[in-house]
Amino acid sequence: MGMTMTQKILAAHAGLKSVVPGQLISAKLDIVLGNDITTPVAVNEFRKAGFDSVFDKDKIAIVLDHFVPNKDIKAAEQSKQCREFACTHCVSHFYDVGKMGIEHALLPEQGVVTAGDCIIGADSHTCTYGALGAFSTGVGSTDMAAGMATGTAWFKVPSAIRFNLTNSLPANCSGKDVILTIIGMIGVDGALYKSMEFTGPGVASLSMDDRLCICNMAIEAGAKNGIFPVDEITEKYMESRCERQPVIYTADPDAEYEKVIEIDLSKIVPTVACPHLPENTHPAAELSHIKIDQVVIGSCTNGRMEDMEAAYKTLKGKTVAPGVRCIIIPATMAIYRECVERGWVTAFIDAGAVVSTPTCGPCLGGYMGILAAGERCIATTNRNFVGRMGHVNSEVYLASPATAAASALTGYIAIPTEV
């Protein structure tokens, strides 16, 4: 029986000729990732287990992105512990204030992850890196601790669902609309512990930012990972960027999938996930009666350059609606700087928005945009659970940057124009 992309990567890292769904394996790791919330827990477990060294200082990445610059004493203590651990073990990929970015935007940008990698991260959205043709998945902090010490992790080989993409997206849609549509179709457990493998002629029409966004939210369908094939777009993105030589895997022609789901990209419409699950999706056109109080454009899902460009094209020369708080968060310092150099930050400020340094802050109800009881936010983030962005009686609507920016101008959920 043939293997999927994910199964081939896992087999190679386990030193096996082949693997089958459900098989338990021990695989070598190329990158172990943690952030300022999960790393301190991992460090405590690392020490409790008696470890005194890391397996490879160049294969560990610690990114301070959730509460940095630190919002309070607890956040400061967590960051301090990360700094001390990174210094003690000479961790090469340590990103602090001034160099930090939201981890899942930063690592691809910096070339820390590449095609063919096997990656774990103590953050559920580590599945983002499948956009590069890597196997990447989120784990708990205890697994992160073991990974930092041994360079290995245990996996149960996942079965797979193939999403065959055809045609191309309408001008006012993006990867966010694709993944919201898919989650609306299959549900938040529709790909439980499975690999979501995106294939077909439509892949070529999707940018790297689209693919990173789609893989980022694979976990919201319960998936173990999401993955795209490596094509010319991927290779161009990785060129002169990745610190390791990419290894390209392709699915076998007779690879076995639990099901194949056809997605015609040309039929995708601007889509919004209503409270309180990512699967509760509706066309934005049906939600124009919903008044909003806040807009957040950013996060590990949608804080990249194309996302900033969509916001800029929508907001330039216009004004955010009275009573709406519009918060824009570039995902990395490099993206932030480019927005400054292009004059986009000025345009955002002139429109009545605020621009933050890179942070996950509002996405998890941490800071930089907490909601009060009864308030509604339309956000480009990835989760809209009860109390996700603040008070348990607040509401979060998930959307693309174009939809979120269009909504900022009207004060109601709006359909974006061509971007």
| Alpha helix segments (H runs only) across 153-239 | 175-186, 208-216, 232-238
> Phi and psi (nearest 5°) for 328?
-115, 130
- Alpha-carbon span 226 to 131, nearest angstrom: 7
Residues 221, 188: Cα–Cα separation, whole Å: 4
Cα distances (Å, whole numbers) of residue 265 to 11, 167, 380: 32, 6, 20
| pLDDT averaged over every residue in the chain | 96
pLDDT digits (tens, 9 = 90+) for 340-371: 999 999 999 999 999 999 999 999 999 999 99
> Residues 359, 296: contact at Cβ < 8 Å?
no
Q: What confidence score (pLDDT) does residue 240 get?
A: 85
The alpha-helical segments, DSSP class H, found in 132-190 are: 141-150, 175-186
DSSP H or E stretch at residue 390: none
φ, ψ at 51 (rounded to 5°): -75, 145
Q: What would be the CATH architecture of the domain defined by 271-410?
A: 2-Layer Sandwich (3.30)
Residue 171 burial (C-beta neighbours within 10 Å; 0-12, 13-18, 19+): exposed
360 Cβ contact partners less than 8 Å away, ≥ 6 residues apart? 35, 65, 66, 102, 299, 300, 366
Domain residue ranges of the chain, discontinuous segments joined by +: 5-263, 271-410
Segment 44-79, tens digit of pLDDT: 999 999 999 999 999 999 999 999 999 999 999 999
Helical residues (DSSP H) of 34-118, grouped into ranges: 38-48, 73-88, 103-110
- Do 5-263 and 271-410 come out as alike in CATH topology? yes
Instruction: Determine the straight-line distance between the first and last CA of the chain, rounded to whole angstroms.
Output: 44
User: What pLDDT digit, counting tens, does each position of 71-127 carry?
Assistant: 999 999 999 999 999 999 999 999 999 998 999 999 999 999 999 999 999 999 999
Given this model, what pLDDT does residue 419 score? 57
CATH topology of domain 5-263: Aconitase; domain 3 (3.30.499)
d(CA 177, CA 51): 44
Which candidate, 145, 136, 154, places its Cα nearest to that of 224?
136
What span, in angstroms and rounded, lies between the C-alpha atoms of 237 and 48? 40
Q: Are 61 and 85 in contact (CB under 8 A)?
A: no
CB atoms within 10 A of CB 224: 24
The pTM assigned to this predicted structure is 0.95
List Cβ neighbours of 375 (8 Å cut-off, separation of 6 or more): 293, 294, 390, 391, 394, 395
Report the C-alpha gap between 367 and 390 in whole angstroms: 9
Tell me the C-alpha distance between 9 and 46, whole Å: 27
Q: What is the pLDDT along the chain (419 residues), one digit of tens a residue?
A: 799 999 999 999 999 999 999 999 999 999 999 999 999 999 999 999 999 999 999 999 999 999 999 999 999 999 999 999 999 999 999 999 999 899 999 999 999 999 999 999 999 999 999 999 999 999 999 999 999 999 999 999 999 999 999 999 999 999 999 999 999 999 999 999 999 999 999 999 999 999 999 999 999 999 999 999 999 999 999 998 988 899 999 999 999 999 999 999 999 999 999 999 999 999 999 999 999 999 999 999 999 999 999 999 999 999 999 999 999 999 999 999 999 999 999 999 999 999 999 999 999 999 999 999 999 999 999 999 999 999 999 999 999 999 999 999 999 999 998 65
pLDDT for the residue 418: 63
Distance of CA 90 to the CA centre of its chain: 27
